[in-house]
Amino acid sequence: MKSFRTEIENPVVENDIIELEQKIRQFKDGNIDGEKFRSLRLARGVYGQRQQGVQMIRIKLPYGKVTSNQLLRIADVADEYSTGRLHITTRQDIQIHYVDLERTPELWAQLEKDEVTLREACGNTVRNVTASETAGIDIDEPFDVSPYAHAIFEYFLRNPIGQEMGRKFKVSFSANDSDSGLSYMHDLGFIAKIQQGVRGFKVMLGGGLGSQPRHADELYNFLAADKIIPLMEGVIRVFDRYGERKSRAKARMKFLLKDMGLAGFKNLLEQEQKAIPNQSFEISLEHYPQASIAQKEIPSIDAEDKEAFDLWKSTNII
């Protein structure tokens, strides 16, 4: 498996893939126990199936954004390493089933050629950051949440504070107050708002589904955009420090919040801020990747209902 090692330009990604390959070999040779190996492979998007000898691979697509080249790469990988079928999840991931465990490092390396990651798609980590599917074209949005979701994804990917937590941690962004990003059912949810000309978010905490569903509490009615990363770091620190570790069924954020109450959680969150290196984290909109607009001549039309046409155009044409 030497070929993929020299093709990955990012040394951090390369080390991740090489480590996965090494751990697979150690596991196969009986030199690492199953539970320790399970934790490592889950944090690298490799999920066991009930069928013997095959794995499900979960691909992270932050806030559902994917380019045409990435889609082609994913499709090629599915053909080469699996059955050619893809499963699109409710949290904007893509899953590939029936993959041989020993081929997962090679599969990952192929995906990374187009910057598609498996890292922390599973396991007790910060999972995929999701967002409203209409973000960027929603006529009711105060601003596009995509750059902020992207910044959260980048900041917490491989971040030591989000590894080996008691349970998984899920985050969402909603384009407006209609909450199409479903913040009310996430561990941490951000709903776009503008207050006195400042971009920010309404912050929701401790939602969840499962056998004991819980509607998220309002943590802040408004939090400036430069505060969301320090806040999330604090929330994760509190969750990791005080969350349940013995009973997996009680280890989600919603149970911690239910036990200590919102006021108690806020008190711990305030104490934890002392350990956070940045009290403000400016998210640069200039560095967010912009869409490449094709230079095509736009045909002229004579719309019967110009108001309806302009409304359609505002949400469908870049």
The CATH number of the domain where 251 resides is what? 3.30.413.10
pLDDT at residue 299 in the model: 82
Confidence of residue 137 (pLDDT cuts 50, 70, 90): confident
> Are 86 and 144 contained in the same domain?
no
pLDDT single digits (tens) 163-188: 999 999 999 999 999 999 999 999 99
pLDDT at residue 318 in the model: 61
pLDDT single digits (tens) 234-244: 999 999 999 99
In this predicted structure, the answer to whether residue 292 has a pLDDT above a threshold of 80 is no
Which alpha helices (H) appear in the chain, and where do they start and end? Answer: 11-28, 34-42, 68-81, 104-112, 146-156, 228-242, 253-272, 306-316
> Are 136 and 231 contained in the same domain?
yes
Q: Which range marks the domain in which residue 252 is found?
A: 126-275
pLDDT at residue 146 in the model: 96
Side-by-side strand order, sheet with 46-48: 46-48, 54-60, 93-100, 87-88
Q: Is residue 92 part of a domain?
A: yes
> Are 165 and 264 contained in the same domain?
yes
Q: Extract the tokens encoding 182.
A: 């479903």
> Are 146 and 249 contained in the same domain?
yes
> Are 130 and 63 contained in the same domain?
no
Say how far apart CA 120 and CA 24 lie, in whole Å. 17
> Are 41 and 134 contained in the same domain?
no
Q: Is residue 229 part of a domain?
A: yes
- Of 79, 112, 145, which residue sits at a domain end? 112
pLDDT single digits (tens) 49-92: 999 889 999 999 999 999 999 999 999 999 999 999 999 999 99
Stretch 19-48: mean pLDDT, rounded?
A: 92
Stretch 110-133: mean pLDDT, rounded?
A: 96
Which region among 47-61, 78-92, 150-164, 275-289 has the lowest average model confidence (pLDDT)?
275-289
Which region among 84-98, 159-173, 302-316 has the lowest average model confidence (pLDDT)?
302-316
In this predicted structure, the answer to whether residue 140 has a pLDDT above a threshold of 50 is yes
Q: Can you give the CATH number for the domain in which 52 is found?
A: 3.90.480.20
Q: Is residue 312 part of a domain?
A: no
In this predicted structure, the answer to whether residue 162 has a pLDDT above a threshold of 90 is yes
Q: What is the mean pLDDT of the chain?
A: 92
Q: How many domains does the chain contain in total?
A: 2
> Are 139 and 97 contained in the same domain?
no
Q: Is residue 95 part of a domain?
A: yes
pLDDT at residue 1 in the model: 44
> Are 197 and 77 contained in the same domain?
no
How many residues are there in the chain?
318
> Are 184 and 48 contained in the same domain?
no
The type of residue at 188 is L
Q: Could you tell me which of 223, 66, 206 has the C-alpha nearest to residue 146?
A: 66
pLDDT at residue 167 in the model: 95
> Are the beta carbons of 91 and 130 closer than 8 angstroms?
yes
Which region among 120-129, 212-221, 281-290 has the lowest average model confidence (pLDDT)?
281-290
Q: Is residue 307 part of a domain?
A: no
Kindly give the pairing relationship between strand 188-195 and strand 198-205.
antiparallel
Q: Is residue 289 part of a domain?
A: no
In this predicted structure, the answer to whether residue 5 has a pLDDT above a threshold of 60 is no
> Are 104 and 26 contained in the same domain?
yes
In this predicted structure, the answer to whether residue 2 has a pLDDT above a threshold of 50 is no
pLDDT at residue 287 in the model: 82
- Of 59, 80, 112, which residue sits at a domain end? 112
- Of 80, 112, 144, which residue sits at a domain end? 112
> Are 99 and 150 contained in the same domain?
no
Q: Is residue 286 part of a domain?
A: no
Confidence of residue 3 (pLDDT cuts 50, 70, 90): very low
pLDDT at residue 308 in the model: 93
Q: Is residue 306 part of a domain?
A: no
Beta bridge mates, 46: 57
> Are 255 and 181 contained in the same domain?
yes
pTM: 0.89
